[in-house]
Amino acid sequence: MASKVYLGTSTWGKQILTIESGKVYLGTSTWGKQIMTIDGNKIYEGTSTWGKQIAVVDKDRVFKGTSTWGKQIAVVDRDKVYEGTSTWGKQIAVVEDGGRMSGAVAAVYLLLM
């Protein structure tokens, strides 16, 4: 089953991404353009791990770049995604039927792309 990412604070918001089997698609279905790939705790731009690594995830924290030495851009708390270094930040997305990597992808899309 595909995960869905919605802009804002609820699933009533606009669906912006669909995630299935480590592939991230723009829009409401897997028929959309693939824009990112998930491999373990790493997120790559493009259709494979040969693309540029744009983020890494450590527990609930999302970091820009290739290591946790990079700037922290977001926090994933269950199905909610917050900008910044804590859940006190602005909520930017909600994930339906997905885990922390789906939330991390939402943060990367909204904050880095």
pLDDT tens digits, 19-42 = 999 999 999 999 999 999 999 999
pTM (two decimals): 0.95
For 92, other C-beta atoms within 10 Å of its C-beta total 20
The confidence score (pLDDT) of residue 54 equals: 97
Question: Cβ(4)–Cβ(13) under 8 Å?
Answer: no
Residue 56 belongs to domain spanning: 3-112
Helix/strand/coil for 32: coil
H or E stretch covering 103:
helix 100-112
What domain count does the chain have?
Answer: 1
